[in-house]
Structure 1
Amino acid sequence: MTPRLTESAAHSDRVVDAGQRQFVFINDGRLQEMPTVRNLLRFLVPVRSHAPSHETLERFLADEELYALPVVDANDRPLALVDRRKFIEFFSKPYSREIFGRRSIVDLLQHAEYQSTAPVIVEDSCSVEDVAQIIITAGMQHMVTGFIVSSAGRYLGVANGHDLLNVITQRKQSELYYLAHYDHLTGIPNRVLLADRLDQACRDSQRKGTLAALLFVDVDRFKQINDSLGHSVGDAVLRVVVERLKKSARRNDTLARLGGDEFVILMEDLEDAADVDRVAQRLLDSMRERIELFGHSLVVTVSVGAALYPVDDTALSPLLAKADAAMYEAKSAGRNRFCRYSKATAMYNPARMSLENDLRRAIESNELVLFFQPQVELASHELRGVEALVRWQHPERGLVSPVHFIPVAEESGLIVPLGNWVLRESLRQLREWNQQGLPPLRMSINISALQFRQGDLPRYLAEQLTAFAVDPQQVELELTESVLMNDVEGVLRTLQEIKSLGVSLAIDDFGTGYSSLSYLRRFPIDRLKIDQSFVRDIEQTPANESIARAIVALADSLSLGIVAEGIEKRSEKAILQHMRCAEGQGYLFAKPLPADDIVAWIGHHLQSQGRPAFPAAAPVPALSC
């Protein structure tokens, strides 16, 4: 789910509203937000120091959402933060209400029978980073109870530790959002953000009765520049080209980089198709001036193709393909020119492979393969499970990374048959390992949002579990946070159906999406996976350490399992182990391996722990399903 973008009067500033979080784009396209402790503030009517204890108890019993209550003196100076769990547990003891119920809250907190903890009290001028460090030092139990915020020593309100987690992660999320939606070389939108804006532009066009246009721009003979002058010169040329494209486009147009030397300009709210021709001509004219770089004087030209919505197509992917075809027509006609799509434009591009058609064939022809990455217990190094990861063994390209074909699968809808293949093959492999005598393993399988929303996932999963006679307790489905954000009641029903099969559920890449305490408490989730972006260089990045600690504390407070992804260094493992993160996976233990290699790895791993290797592989009868 991509956050909706709304443009302000200033072209360079855009506000992104992601749920309750707001970020502001600055001129270079990067996201920036400035959280303060006041952003976390929740005013709760405090408990007066002279108030009888039973009144506090009644407030807790009346509102189960209260984690803690602040206590203040007659001058509104904070004295304590009453922990809900400790307080209710104390009053559940025999005679506690009779003996202590009428005593003042301060008397109770000072009594030896009640073990009170000194509250964390911070001034409203304190930075979020400082507060995070204070809580880490004071003890992670404050992630649950929270802390008191004061101003000039007087009570202002309380801040919840889980909200602190959200605010701490905002900076990291802004970086992740930027990486996911903007091109790192040029700072302009990438294919993902272009798709979001194109979808919105077409909706607006349909509502207003106007036109939208895509201009597909390709730099002529760019490969020669890279090959002869080097990639550093090539990158510098692309940055200059981007600046010229920006100046040639209209103020409200979106310029995006698709990759390599390919760019797209999205023109919205067009009344006259002739505007497309005028902008295209400005693009061509802007390239006439030589580019002077590193002692080289270069003449760089571009070929431009255009397609109009809804004239040429009303579907987004074909519209982009038609603009691409028109660009290729311009190249075929001699480069450095502009062509608009027409019915006579050849849609077949011999220079480009149709990845979608190849992927469709790959699923049917069994060109896909599974790799597996171990998940180990950090304290004991015992193997707990593996995560199944799909790869594509292309007959011509070799092993294709999912980075290249998963987006195509999602856009085309092939992610559903692809996901079903992964689920089926993972269970088949698990059955084979069980018959070989491998130690019982948890098989973690990723489920895409589209696959989850198809509605028949529980039925299909049940069929495959039966077909392969696999113990459901060995199976874990990994979902991203975005899966849980729409149609909450429908999602809850599907999750409950899956849980009824005995399968466990995990949230993948936790902290990078729309982390919410409410859905963690409501949905039957078993484990959280700390995203690798929070693990990388954790020993040198205080924000990453704060986020990881907060997630571990959150999981602990909700009795959830926890595993950290992307552990590559011993120092990262040591820090995660010290903060009581239970499990981890990453290159420090093993990279993703094919089935035969992971079996060998497991055997070697068992021997390194002084444990007997598993029995020799037994023949596995074929299954039909």
Structure 2
Amino acid sequence: MERLTEYRLSLGADGQWLEPATMRHLLRTIEPVRMREKCATILERFLADVELYALPIIEDDGRPAALIERTSFVEFFTKPFGSDVFGRRSVADLLAYGHYRRSPPLVVEEDCTVEDGAQMIISAGMQHMVAGFIVCRAGRYRGVANGRDLLNVITQRKQEQLYRLAHYDALTGIPNRALLADRLELACRMADRTGLQVGLLFIDVDRFKHINDSMGHSAGDEVLRLIVGRLRGCVRQMDTLARLAGDEFVIVMERLSDPMQVDVLAHRILGSMREPFEVGGHSLFVTVSIGSAIYPRDDGQLRSLMVKADAAMYESKASGRNSFRSYTPKMLTFNPESISLENDMRRALERDEFVLHFQPQVDLATGQLRGAEALVRWRHPERGLVSPMHFIPVAEESGLIVQIGECVLRKALAQVREWHDQGLPLFRVSVNISALQFRQANFARFIETLLAEHGVSGEFLELELTESILMRDVEDVLDTLNAIKSLGVRLAIDDFGTGFSCLSYLRRFPIDCLKIDQSFVRNIERTPINQSIAQAIVALGESLALGVIAEGVETLSEAAVLKGMRCSQAQGYLYSTPLEPRSFARWLANRNVGRAVAPAA
């Protein structure tokens, strides 16, 4: 098969381009059968090996002739009298039999790239995602590959890129807050084993807001990049330099035998800032304030250590900026923001301040409403409408996510009941479920009770779960999922492809729908790997009779690509922002959706 263009598509954790993988990485050597062999031989091999998903048929010269897939073959072959008809005949007789569902095998050369192979296989038809395809060398049989394995490989390659985006700062290229937390934890564990110490330095750019206000944000961004360059010149190779947020940076110094090493680095950094920065034809003098704390001398708890280093940095600012302070017990270590947020959330539950907005999920072919996702918002009396990205992390850390999740479920079902009573078209409502909430005892019974309380049929509720929920305590998870399904409730996997990407659970678990993560949808029309992954997920959904919803659709071109690959549903700003209930009802009326809307498959 002709080899198509190779793509250098994704970045590894070190920022280097990954070379495209070839199909030989997916190869599984399965001893083929030849055309002259008896049909009974195939049946015996299928029955003896439950992991055998397909069996290649080759000519005497080794050229592929057919690929027999387990399900359709065994179903046909084991019908009454099937063995009498074909037991003593050759494979050629079976393939020629009119009622046997047969299609030509897809053949891919082993040096074909994974990305090119994905395009060929998806274009050739969804059956290859289940039955697999034949891999050849110079037209001769080499082995069989599974479409699911192919999806795993291209998803993992995308995950390398997502890892980079999730763990490195886009502006400066250095680790971000998430990777900093991992590096700090590992450094402290090493210190516990070796008896050494870890230094933590907080660095804040003095009067950075003045630079942004006077010269613009682009100049401010350039200043941050230049500062990172100087900081890199000061730290040791083993140290971690990270951007915490805005103009705040953190340095983790590992394997310290003497805390004075932190002081030496801090003064080196202050000295490096003495030379002006050349930005936009101007010479800028920029200073920084630095604070430090030592593990485990100052604190053995990482979060408290961060707070103490931050407190030392603020002491430095209070003393006139452009200076360094190390933590002392006299410094204020109160972290008002996080403590206040947690306390406010507890009061918010008591005062019923959490509200729901609903984002439509539409049929890509017709534009009709198929469902809506319920999204929680916090109507704070002082801060206004707060996005979940600002409070959900604290809710998960504090355990309040369970109570908030129960509140969201109650409000969602109450809204469904209200819309039904108003005579609105019937459609499902999706609710995100956290891992901590899902693992509560009798969670399925809780869902059953809520449905009964609100008089809502289970078919109008869909629970969205992350892949990580499904991969822990599999047997218990399966019991809970089956109990939920018995209520008629639909189950969807949210952000599919960004988690473990282990597809075996799709066979075991009663999943109804896959949601393509918005990171695979963004710029899909000009990002080949995003298109490959989305096409593969759609094909996988079709082959397993699962619904597929694309998240984060914002442009007509993105919608057109998704529609072209037969993705059934979409949600995103192209159709509507999340709406409060009354606005959602008006949106529905304005689109003139028919009253026969029903829960989507």
TM-score, normalization by structure 1: 0.88
8 Å Cα contact 2:12/2:161 also seen in 1: no
Alpha-carbon RMSD across the aligned residues, in angstroms, is: 2.5
8 Å Cα contact 2:234/2:269 also seen in 1: yes
8 Å Cα contact 1:25/1:32 also seen in 2: no
Partner of 1:452: 438
Cα distance in 2, alignment partners of residues 93 and 37 from structure 1 = 36
1:32-74 per-residue CA deviation (whole Å, 9 max, x = no partner) reads 3632211211111222333211111121122233221112233
Q: Check if 1:281 corresponds to 2:276.
A: no
Q: Note closer, same or farther for the CA distance 1:67–1:381 as it changes in structure 2 (3 Å cut).
A: same
Cα distance in 2, alignment partners of residues 350 and 455 from structure 1 = 34
Partner of 1:96: 82
Cα distance in 2, alignment partners of residues 101 and 575 from structure 1 = 47
Aligned length: 588
Partner of 2:13: 25
Amino acid at match of 1:106: A
Partner of 1:414: 400
Cα distance in 2, alignment partners of residues 612 and 154 from structure 1 = 54
Q: Note closer, same or farther for the CA distance 1:349–1:299 as it changes in structure 2 (3 Å cut).
A: farther
Q: Check if 1:109 corresponds to 2:95.
A: yes
Partner of 1:581: 567
Q: Which moved more, 1:391-400 or 1:514-523?
A: 391-400
8 Å Cα contact 2:426/2:595 also seen in 1: no
Partner of 1:386: 372
Partner of 1:196: 182
Amino acid at match of 2:62: D
Q: Note closer, same or farther for the CA distance 1:602–1:609 as it changes in structure 2 (3 Å cut).
A: closer
Cα distance in 1, alignment partners of residues 20 and 116 from structure 2 = 14
Q: Check if 1:367 corresponds to 2:353.
A: yes
SS at match of 1:250: coil
Displacement of 1:449 after TM fit? 2.2
Partner of 1:68: 54
Partner of 1:552: 538
Q: Check if 1:396 corresponds to 2:382.
A: yes
Cα distance in 1, alignment partners of residues 338 and 274 from structure 2 = 28
1:77 corresponds, among 42, 52, 63, to: 63
RCO comparison, higher one (Cα < 8 Å, 6+): 2
8 Å Cα contact 1:442/1:476 also seen in 2: yes
Q: Note closer, same or farther for the CA distance 1:186–1:353 as it changes in structure 2 (3 Å cut).
A: farther
Cα distance in 1, alignment partners of residues 525 and 11 from structure 2 = 27
SS at match of 2:359: strand
8 Å Cα contact 1:328/1:349 also seen in 2: no
Displacement of 1:458 after TM fit? 3.2
Amino acid at match of 1:25: A
Cα distance in 2, alignment partners of residues 246 and 398 from structure 1 = 40
1:601-622 per-residue CA deviation (whole Å, 9 max, x = no partner) reads 12223xx246599xxxxxxxxx
Q: Check if 1:600 corresponds to 2:601.
A: no
Q: Which moved more, 1:589-598 or 1:448-457?
A: 448-457
Displacement of 1:352 after TM fit? 9.6
Partner of 2:285: 299
Displacement of 1:586 after TM fit? 1.8
Structure 2: stretches of 5+ with no match in the other structure: 1-9
8 Å Cα contact 2:13/2:164 also seen in 1: no
TM-score, normalization by structure 2: 0.91
8 Å Cα contact 1:455/1:494 also seen in 2: no
Displacement of 1:523 after TM fit? 1.8
Amino acid at match of 1:424: R
Write the mapping of 1:532-551 to structure 2, written as runs, cut at 5 A.
Answer: 532-551=518-537
8 Å Cα contact 1:30/1:178 also seen in 2: no
SS at match of 2:329: coil
8 Å Cα contact 2:134/2:145 also seen in 1: yes
SS at match of 1:42: coil
Cα distance in 2, alignment partners of residues 413 and 429 from structure 1 = 26
Q: Note closer, same or farther for the CA distance 1:202–1:425 as it changes in structure 2 (3 Å cut).
A: farther
Amino acid at match of 2:549: V
Displacement of 1:265 after TM fit? 1.1
Structure 1: stretches of 5+ with no match in the other structure: 1-21, 614-625
1:199-241 per-residue CA deviation (whole Å, 9 max, x = no partner) reads 2223333333332232111111111111111111111110111
Q: Check if 1:220 corresponds to 2:206.
A: yes
SS at match of 1:268: strand
Cα distance in 2, alignment partners of residues 450 and 328 from structure 1 = 36
Q: Check if 1:44 corresponds to 2:30.
A: yes
Partner of 1:122: 108
Partner of 1:528: 514
SS at match of 2:396: helix
Q: Note closer, same or farther for the CA distance 1:546–1:384 as it changes in structure 2 (3 Å cut).
A: same
Q: Note closer, same or farther for the CA distance 1:441–1:114 as it changes in structure 2 (3 Å cut).
A: closer
Partner of 1:427: 413
Q: Which moved more, 1:183-192 or 1:193-202?
A: 193-202
Displacement of 1:31 after TM fit? 6.8
1:124-165 per-residue CA deviation (whole Å, 9 max, x = no partner) reads 111122212222332221111111111233222111111111
Displacement of 1:471 after TM fit? 2.1
Q: Check if 1:56 corresponds to 2:45.
A: no
